[in-house]
Amino acid sequence: MFSLSLISSLMIYFSGVYVFSSKRKHLLMVLLSLEYMVVSLFMMIIIYLIIFDYDYYFSIIFLVFSVCEGALGLSILVSMIRSHGNDFFHSFSLSLC
């Protein structure tokens, strides 16, 4: 049971890594793949804590940091869309800095 859950969460993680590396032109796809990887890491942490019968405090801390990361990414996305009009990375210009 746990090995099947671990294998499925590893497959989810590596599919998130693949999307992260292949769709790197859009910031929204990068953020979604990062959140996908965070969810799979959370699944692996929960499986590990269940197997060794530990407390779940670390998973709560992990969720807090992942929510903060998601909120920061969305705020960057909103400010980028307001300033440039889209979320393409190639629309940036170094002269705007």
CATH of residue 40: 1.10.287.3510
Which stretch, 25-29, 41-45, 89-93, has highest mean pLDDT?
A: 41-45
Amino acid at 97: C
pLDDT of residue 91: 65
For 74-91, the pLDDT digits (tens) are: 998 888 888 878 777 666
Given a cut of 90, whether residue 65 has pLDDT beyond it is yes
Rg (CA), the chain: 17
Can you give the residue range of the structural domain that contains 53? 2-96
- Distance separating alpha carbons of residues 59 and 46, to the nearest angstrom: 7
More confident residue, 71 or 23: 71
- The set of residues, in sequence order, having a beta carbon less than 8 Å from that of 51 and lying 6+ positions away, is 2
Mean pLDDT along residues 44-64: 91
At residue 95 the predicted structure's pLDDT band, cuts being 50, 70 and 90, is very low
pTM of the predicted structure, to 2 decimals: 0.82
What is the number of structural domains in the chain? 1
Q: What's the rounded mean pLDDT across residues 28-41? A: 92
Residues forming a β-bridge with 26? 88
